[in-house]
Amino acid sequence: VIRDLRYDHEDYFFLEDLDTRMVMHPNPKLQGQRMTGTLDPDGKALFDEMVAVAKRDGSGLVSYRWPKPGSDAPVEKVSYVELFKPWGWIVGSGIYVDDVKVEFRRQLIQAIVILTTIALLLSALILLIARSIASPLAQVVDAMANIASGDADLTRNLDSRWRDELTALSGHFNVFTHKLRTVIGQSMQTAGSLDQASQSLAEIASDSQRHSQQQSQQMELVATAIHEVSYAVQEVAKNAEHAANEVRQADEQARQGQH
């Protein structure tokens, strides 16, 4: 059963007794072999050290170099060994350091990707929050600046759909502009009424002026007529005086003829 156990695809278990005899190993050539004095390329008696660690501590780690399955090139390996006292067997299994490094790099890259993604998401979230605060505030400032400049669009309402302090400020601003629109509307109505009244007064004044002109013209006609009548009376008076003179002269001549 132990012979066929695998983890991480290629990693395996092996059994060794306290005399360094290989009880079980995936490599059939090592099966039943006494491994005492077996050295790795660095000169370490690895199986003897496994026995020493198991006897001394009951379990522990042993570092050495050993070829991977299907390869003859020794690479760094770390095995964990533990003594099973009832049978006097040492159960061991190891991992290759380069596989650990590869896995470490893979997990490091994965962690970097995850952290980068989280950082980007947090940055986007912070940006959205900043915009959600800055944009309404900028709208309020812009609207107040327009009102202060005297060129405000009082029909414009700020967004007040959310529930926060800036939205409350926007709502109060909308109420303010609504009241201001009402006051301006009433003022415009009053101005319109005053304009109509001024137009009516202008029409009345114009009519009065026209009537005055007509009366003045009539007075001029009356004066002209009176002047003409006066002239006619003077002519009549002159003619009457002339006739009286003629009569007087005729009377004197008649008196002279009698004498």
Tokens for 183?
């006051």
Is 163 inside a domain boundary? no
- Amino acid 166: pLDDT: 62
Q: Are 81 and 17 in contact (CB under 8 A)?
A: no
Residue 184 reports pLDDT greater than 70:
yes
pLDDT for residue 158: 63
DSSP 29: G
Mean pLDDT for the chain overall: 82
Query: Measuring CA to CA, how many Å separate 27 from each of 92, 126, 242?
Result: 14, 58, 179
* Euclidean distance between CA atoms 135 and 116, whole angstroms: 27
pLDDT (tens digit, 9 = 90+) per residue, 70-97? 788 899 999 999 999 999 999 999 888 9
Q: Would you say residue 76 lies in a domain?
A: yes
The mean pLDDT of 100-122, rounded to a whole number, is 93
User: Quick check: is 36 in a domain?
Assistant: yes
Question: What's the Cα-to-Cα distance from 196 to each of 43, 191, 205, rounded to whole Å?
Answer: 117, 9, 14
Which of 116, 97, 162 lies closest to 135 in space, CA to CA?
162
pLDDT beyond 90 at 117: yes
Domain that holds residue 15: 2-96
List the Cα angle 27/31/36 in 5-degree steps.
105
Higher-confidence position of 160 and 229: 229
Count of domains observed in the chain? 1
Give the whole-angstrom CA distance, residue 189 versus residue 167: 33
CA quadruple 249, 254, 257, 259: dihedral sign:
negative
pLDDT value of position 27: 82
Residue 245 lies in a domain: no
**Most confident residue range from 29-38, 58-67, 217-226:** 58-67
Q: At residue 202, what is the residue type?
A: A
**Distance set, CA 95 to CA 24, 69, 80, 105, 215 (Å):** 18, 12, 9, 16, 129
CA angle 234, 237, 238 (to 5 degrees): 85
Say whether pLDDT at 208 is over 80.
no
pLDDT tens for each residue of 124-179: 999 988 887 777 777 777 777 776 666 666 666 666 565 566 666 666 677 777 77
pLDDT for the residue 126: 92
pLDDT of residue 148: 67
Q: Is residue 230 part of a domain?
A: no
Contacts of 237 (CB under 8 A, 6+ apart): none
Q: Is the pLDDT of residue 1 over 60?
A: no
Would 160 be classed as within a structural domain?
A: no
- Single-letter residue type at 238: K
Both tokens of 255, joined, read 């008196």
Report yes or no on 146 lying in a domain: no
CATH of the domain at 79: 3.30.450.20
Is residue 195 scored above 90 in pLDDT?
no
Q: Identify whether 212 is part of a domain.
A: no
* 19-25 mean pLDDT: 89
